[in-house]
């Protein structure tokens, strides 16, 4: 029997013990420090973790470890160099929530286009049941041009969901070919044109050095007057203070955010809550009953493939791809 250690969650929150009982003994760990973790991982063949740090020292002193399964797509908390040096494979779960993020983004897009947050606020807080109380004109969905920044897996799913509404769709992504965009019914454009011509911009890219605060005062000012912004991508893509001021001065019509640079209460966050132009949800884009099941299904599948030596079917994390 193999030995699998689960560093994330509690035994009553998942069913790894039941899922893998035919091939492994599953132990749940809760390490307060590195020394404790090293002791608990003695004899472990496979480690399952979430965002808990796994340092180079832990990896160097865990002699039997062969595979780390990360229950998400972020690997910055894993010392990948040491893992590579010790021939410890790392796999992360990166696509189980794609449909959910795309669904949530499209729900937010449609809500903004139909002015649902503003009218709902007016009914609830002003006791007013009247069309026209929102100052911006209301256009049908098909009359709008949607700009997608980031046309990877999720960006493409967003475009797929929006096409039946008949709206124009354009996208900017320097890492995706024009052919891929055209094949998906989307017009490829440069960043400047997307800013200046889109009625609504939706963000679907990670935060990296090149994308940190990608939307600051300058970019927001270049956006079309009366346009809208949706961020179901990553916190840190948008300077929220600059965004608030762009809404406050009437340049940006409305905003939907499921992720913020900091998700702790702040003065800016509280000010957004008071404004009908801001639709805020608490980092729920990747969650659903189906996504949760898919996450554990994927983890189990990769573990079984690994133990069956079917390495070609596992999307291992490579150090070179992470550095890029």
Residue-wise pLDDT for 1-44, tens only, equals: 899 999 865 555 668 888 999 999 999 887 678 898 999 999 99
Mean pLDDT of the chain: 93
| Residue 171: its H or E element | strand 168-172
pLDDT at position 32, please?
A: 74
Same domain for 302 and 241: no
Q: How many residues does the chain have?
A: 324
pLDDT at position 76, please?
A: 87
3-state secondary structure of 17: helix
pLDDT at position 324, please?
A: 45
Same domain for 233 and 118: yes
Higher pLDDT, 268 or 163: 163
Does residue 178 lie within any of the structural domains? yes
Half-sphere exposure of 185 (CA within 13 A, CB side): 15
Same domain for 236 and 195: yes
The span from the CA of 75 to the CA of 59, in Å, is 14
Same domain for 211 and 146: yes
Structure tokens at 138: 């209301």
Q: Which of 260, 280, 300 is the last residue of a domain?
A: 280
Domain residue limits at 188: 97-280
Same domain for 303 and 254: no
Same domain for 226 and 161: yes
Q: Is the pLDDT score of 233 beyond 70?
A: yes
The span from the CA of 39 to the CA of 205, in Å, is 38
Which burial class, exposed, middle or buried, applies to 311 when counting CB atoms under 10 A from its CB (0-12, 13-18, 19+)? Answer: exposed
Per-residue CA distances from 18 to 11, 24, 45, 60 (Å): 10, 10, 18, 30
Same domain for 303 and 160: no
Same domain for 112 and 244: yes
DSSP state of 189: -
Residues facing residue 5 across a β-bridge? 27, 47
pLDDT at position 322, please?
A: 52
Q: Which of 108-122, 153-167, 309-323 has the lowest mean pLDDT?
A: 309-323
The span from the CA of 114 to the CA of 203, in Å, is 19
Per-residue CA distances from 124 to 86, 128, 135, 198 (Å): 60, 8, 17, 30
Residues facing residue 168 across a β-bridge? 145
Does residue 173 lie within any of the structural domains? yes
How far, in whole angstroms, is CA 125 from its chain's centroid?
32
3-state secondary structure of 117: helix
Task: Name residues whose C-beta falls within 8 Å of residue 229's C-beta, 6 or more positions apart in sequence.
Answer: 200, 201, 202, 203, 215, 223, 238, 243, 252, 255, 256
3-state secondary structure of 7: coil
User: What is the number of domains present in the chain?
Assistant: 2
Q: Is the pLDDT score of 293 beyond 70?
A: yes
Same domain for 101 and 79: no
3-state secondary structure of 232: coil
Does residue 322 lie within any of the structural domains? no
Does residue 316 lie within any of the structural domains? no
Half-sphere exposure of 319 (CA within 13 A, CB side): 12
* Radius of gyration, alpha carbons of the chain: 23
pLDDT at position 66, please?
A: 97
Same domain for 118 and 18: no
pLDDT at position 152, please?
A: 96
Does residue 324 lie within any of the structural domains? no
């Amino acid at each position: 029997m193999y030995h699998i250690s689960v560093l994330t969650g509690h035994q009553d929150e998942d069913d790894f013990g039941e899922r893998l009982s035919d091939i492994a003994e599953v132990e749940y760990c809760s390490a307060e420090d590195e020394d404790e973790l090293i002791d608990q991982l003695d004899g472990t063949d496979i480690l399952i973790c979430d965002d808990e740090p796994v340092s180079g020292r832990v990896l160097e002193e865990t002699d039997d470890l062969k595979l780390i399964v990360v229950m998400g797509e972020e690997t910055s908390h894993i010392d990948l160099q040491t893992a590579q040096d010790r021939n410890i494979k790392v796999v992360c779960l990166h696509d189980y929530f794609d449909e959910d993020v795309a669904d949530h983004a499209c729900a937010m897009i449609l809500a903004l286009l139909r002015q649902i947050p503003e009218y709902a606020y007016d009914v609830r807080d002003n006791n007013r049941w009247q069309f026209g109380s929102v100052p911006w004109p209301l256009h049908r969905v098909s009359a709008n041009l949607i700009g997608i920044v980031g046309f990877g897996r999720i960006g493409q799913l967003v475009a797929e969901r929006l096409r039946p509404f008949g709206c124009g769709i354009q996208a900017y992504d320097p890492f995706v070919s024009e052919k891929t965009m055209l094949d998906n019914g989307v017009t490829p454009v440069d960043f400047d044109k997307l800013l200046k011509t889109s009625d609504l911009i939706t963000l679907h890219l990670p935060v990296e050095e090149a994308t940190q605060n990608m939307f600051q005062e300058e970019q927001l000012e270049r956006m079309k007057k009366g346009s809208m912004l949706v961020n179901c991508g990553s916190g840190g893509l948008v300077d929220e203070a600059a965004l608030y001021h762009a809404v406050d001065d009437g340049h940006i019509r409305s905003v939907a955010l499921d992720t913020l640079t900091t998700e702790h209460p702040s003065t800016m966050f509280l000010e957004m809550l008071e404004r009908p132009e801001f639709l805020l949800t608490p980092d729920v884009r990747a969650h659903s009953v189906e996504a949760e099941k898919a996450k554990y299904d994927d983890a189990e599948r990769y573990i079984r493939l690994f133990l069956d030596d079917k390495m070609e079917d596992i999307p291992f994390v490579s150090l070179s791809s992470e550095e890029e």
